[in-house]
Structure 1
Amino acid sequence: MLETRFRIRTPKRSLAFAVTTATTVFTLALAASTAYAAAPMAYVTSEKAGVGVIDLDQMALTKTFPVGADGPRGLSLNADGTRLLVANKNTGDMAVIETASGQVVQRVKIGKNPEYVRVHNGYAYVTYEPGEEGGPPAANSAHNGKPGADDDANKPPAEIAIIDMKTWHVIRSVTSGHETEGIEFSRDGKTMLVTNEGDDTVSVYHARTGAPVRTVKLAAGSRPRGIRLSPDGKDYIVTLESLSKFVVVNARTFQVVKTVDTKLGPYGVAFGPDGKRLFVAAARDRMVQVFDGHSYEHVADVPVGQRCWHFSFTPDGAKLLVACGRSDAVYVLDAQNYQPIKQIGELPLAWGIVTYPHSDGSIDSH
């Protein structure tokens, strides 16, 4: 049988154009990748100034996105870091900020006192509190560390708005307990848990539908705030602000299996990037506490500033960034030996902090 051969002739000009185009695309992609890798950022909400942007290579505040009058608090980033979602206390909405320009490109009406934002599987979850005034707690209230009843039960319960990030529409709002604080998701992403400071519970829901699954009752007057899933997916750690403890809750049975003492007023909680250490922000004692990530034995106490609620590791895991609201600064610590490195100021009433590339912290996790 004769062999038939085909020869494809490509015009030299077209071939040269194709090669040039491919080379240009590759060069641009490489440059973009290099620039991206060279400039990790942290975003910090300042309730009085807006959103501070910290260059993590320089460890310096480089710019501020001007949403200060809105009272920004909770924040979260979309998957590729191009959009920053910020809950604004004074305007009752969530601002969508283009991170490249710092411009607000979308506003989503939420309700009274939006506070905590968490992005998960293409949806944004935003807590808000129709019954709260949004100001600081009274000096004699249960917020100040003394367990006891207050008037939370007489106020409307909190809500969680679920926002489709493709359309930026609120697709449903879920009734929660009183004064929702932290949001966490199960390992398979199907279940959402929120801490309810005002009625000492953790509410469990189907993440997509918002249908209630169960309510976990914790100690009376404990005021649960932060919540984080353990790296192995077996337990949830919940900080109890008024009792100055955290509890370990079995992720399958939702039973408390361990209680650990902390310094005063624990709030933000997160495991370190390698899972070997658990970090807790004990705000009233001006400490970040370090515990063993498996046994939960106490390891170290690290002094920080005033009203340090939230923190994040840098993307490389080498440093810990702690947002300290009453110190108007972010404290930078070595994540291995816990020694102070520097303070980044000009962030009045700093509230929360996240980074891009995404890293572990008390608000975000990856």
Structure 2
Amino acid sequence: MQFIKPAVVLGLLISSLFANAEDRGKAYVSNQEGGVSIINLNTMETEGSIDIQAKNPRGIGVTEDGRFLITANKDNENLSVIDLKTNQFVKHIPVGKNPEFVRVYKGYVFVSTEPASSGKPPVAGQEDDDKDEPKIPARIAVVDLAKGKKIRDIIGGPETEGIEFSKSGKEIIVTNEADNTITVHNFSNGKLLKTISTKKYGERPRGIKVAPNGKYYVSTLEYGNSFIVLDNQFKHLKTIATGESPYGVSFDREGKRLFVATSKAKTLEVYDTTNFEKIKDIPTGRRCWHFSFSPDDKDILLACGKSDEVLVIDAEKLEVTKHIPHKEIPWGVVAYPKAMGTLDNVQ
């Protein structure tokens, strides 16, 4: 029998530990004309794709333990559940018409569904063409992953978009584009607790995020070209002007900076949260809606649907460092291990 020298064993062990220490994780990108792309965060290259067995994935999320990836599939009115150990499709879960925004939280999937939505936003400054028709409230489908099925619907406003949770986990906060409201619901039963109108501050609330310290919320107003700041009782504190069509919004992990993706202005805007003064405008591409930090907070990955690419941005220098081609209209991006971002949050 040939024995391996202790020095060799020690060298292999050190190499293995060093390799693991350098592993930055992976990012997952939903592509509206494809499946899910996998980006290796060590190389910042696309290393593969996942067949979700559905069409037009938009919202995307990952479970706290990293076991499952979830996508919301517009054309199939369902969720795809993917086993991330094998990158294989597991099952579909029906949720309702036009599923879009996904948040995975405490073993549940919360997904906005829009039975009245045509999928086309109204023109800024103009009344909706269907103003004489009743606006059907959107639903937030609540899926129990352990049971593998939808367990209830929460009634939102027309065209519910963003979904967030209070720091205590007792409330769900959602933005409703079509009637310019933010609604607060009981986490356990979905009961409506409060409605905040954004009309006098700006129209079409979209992104919504709680500050890491839980003391306030920020919501982007797409047609208001601004974001509003609400205290933890949802009282308006201030309105901050942005570039045209802000959507995705996220704090950094420490809550010192706020990042806002302005789709039509083609920038990722960075703000100092001590006074909400702008730090920098980072030039981006077309229809850049959603982004995620890397798990080590060193980079930001921004999905730019109409530029067919994912941008890599140095989170300290605030500069674009790489363009990763994605030819199937990237919509959203999340990372694992869990990271801060427009579609996820580090609890």
Deviation of 1:346 (Å): 2.4
Which of the residues 217, 224, 248 maps onto 2:205?
224
The CA distance in 1 between the partners of 2:68 and 2:17, in whole Å, is 18
The answer as to 2:151 corresponding to 1:167 is no
Contact 1:147 1:243 (C-alpha < 8 Å) held by counterparts: no
Query: Alpha-carbon deviations, 1:12-47, whole Å to 9, x = none?
Result: xxxxxxxxxxxxxxx99x979965862500000000
Secondary structure at the residue paired with 2:264? helix
Q: Give the equivalent residue in structure 2 for 1:101.
A: 86
Q: 1:248 to 1:121 in 2, by over 3 A?
A: same
Q: For 1:171-320, list aligned pairs within 5 A.
A: 171-219=151-199, 222-252=203-233, 254-320=234-300
Q: Give the equivalent residue in structure 2 for 1:42.
A: 27
Residue identity matched to 2:218: I
Q: 1:235 to 1:39 in 2, by over 3 A?
A: closer
Secondary structure at the residue paired with 2:248? strand
The CA distance in 2 between the partners of 1:113 and 1:44, in whole Å, is 19
Q: 1:190 to 1:55 in 2, by over 3 A?
A: same
The two structures have a TM-score, normalised by structure 2, of: 0.91
Query: Alpha-carbon deviations, 1:207-228, whole Å to 9, x = none?
Result: 1211111111111661000000
Query: Which blocks of at least 5 consecutive residues in structure 2 are unaligned?
Result: 1-11
Query: Alpha-carbon deviations, 1:122-147, whole Å to 9, x = none?
Result: 1111110011123x43xxx33xx436
Q: For 1:86-165, list aligned pairs within 5 A.
A: 86-134=71-119, 136-137=120-121, 141-142=122-123, 145-146=124-125, 148=127, 151=130, 154-165=134-145
The CA distance in 2 between the partners of 1:175 and 1:80, in whole Å, is 29
The two structures have a TM-score, normalised by structure 1, of: 0.86
Query: Alpha-carbon deviations, 1:325-346, whole Å to 9, x = none?
Result: 0011100011011111111112
Q: Give the equivalent residue in structure 2 for 1:321.
A: 301
Q: 1:297 to 1:150 in 2, by over 3 A?
A: farther
Contact 1:315 1:355 (C-alpha < 8 Å) held by counterparts: yes
Query: Alpha-carbon deviations, 1:45-83, whole Å to 9, x = none?
Result: 000111010000000001111237510000110011110
Secondary structure at the residue paired with 2:274? coil
Which has the greater radius of gyration?
1
Deviation of 1:176 (Å): 0.6
The CA distance in 1 between the partners of 2:191 and 2:338, in whole Å, is 29
The answer as to 2:61 corresponding to 1:79 is no
Deviation of 1:154 (Å): 2.4
Q: Give the equivalent residue in structure 1 for 2:9.
A: none
The CA distance in 1 between the partners of 2:32 and 2:26, in whole Å, is 19
Q: Give the equivalent residue in structure 2 for 1:360.
A: 340
The CA distance in 1 between the partners of 2:251 and 2:288, in whole Å, is 17
Contact 2:24 2:295 (C-alpha < 8 Å) held by counterparts: no
The structure that is helix-richer by fraction is 1
Q: Give the equivalent residue in structure 2 for 1:12.
A: none
Q: Give the equivalent residue in structure 1 for 2:8.
A: none
Query: Which blocks of at least 5 consecutive residues in structure 1 are unaligned?
Result: 1-26
Q: Give the equivalent residue in structure 2 for 1:11.
A: none
Which of the residues 316, 327, 330 maps onto 1:350?
330
Aligned pairs, how many?
332
Query: How large is the RMSD of aligned CA atoms in angstroms?
Result: 2.1
Residue identity matched to 2:228: V
Deviation of 1:99 (Å): 1.4
